[in-house]
Homo-oligomer: A and B are copies of this chain.
Amino acid sequence: MLFIRSFPNNLVQTEALAEWLQEVAVAVETIPYHKLRFVIHEAFVNACKYGHDHNANIVVVIRKHEDLEITITDPGNGFEIPNALSPFDAGAIGLSWNLARDRDTNVIAELRAPNTLSFSLRQEKGHQEVELMENHRGLISILKAAKNLSYHFVPNSFNYLHITC
């Protein structure tokens, strides 16, 4: 069972996205609408903000199998890898770094396969004095709602964020 739509690459589209997800949520059942909407909204906003190619559409594919697999394409060259390494550079494999740091949670990004960036949350003993972050919370919230979150670099195809819930 696949739900596929593409949206122009701008923030105003989050309204149309939310309406579409209302029907999808009815058919999907395993996740409430407001969570499904939030997770995909966050990924969509990121794709708009950080994607470079502004006339490319953003394609959203929701596949209901055992798990719910959500794919949001990214019209840009995707996440920057530290030291300006390419995600296909053998030397970059195994590299992991801290993408966002909150009081007691870090988002760790790790380049596993030559084109796969996987994200995970690492809880740390709360160091309260750390300034409360105003942004950089999008991936934290997706990670909390998802079983698995990864970003895939695919040459000559759309890069995409892949969320399993």
A residues with CB within 8 A of B: 1-6, 20, 23-24, 57, 59, 61, 71, 73, 152, 154-158, 160, 162
Q: In the complex the two chains form, what is the Cα distance from A59 to B71 in whole Å? A: 13
Task: Say yes or no: A152 contacts B57, CB within 8 Å.
Answer: no
Chain A interface mostly: strand
Cβ–Cβ < 8 Å partners of A1 in chain B: 152
Task: Say yes or no: A3 contacts B57, CB within 8 Å.
Answer: no
Specify the chain B residue showing the minimal Cβ separation from A56.
B6
How many copies of this chain does one complex carry? 2
Interface-central residue, A152, A156, A162, by most chain B CB under 10 Å: A156
Q: In the complex the two chains form, what is the Cα distance from A61 to B69 in whole Å? A: 14
Cβ–Cβ < 8 Å partners of A57 in chain B: 6, 57
| Contact A2:B162 (CB < 8 A) given known A57-B57, A59-B59 | yes
Known A4-B59, A4-B154; further 8 A-B contacts with Cβ < 8 A: A1-B152, A2-B162, A3-B154, A3-B157, A20-B156, A23-B155, A24-B157, A57-B57
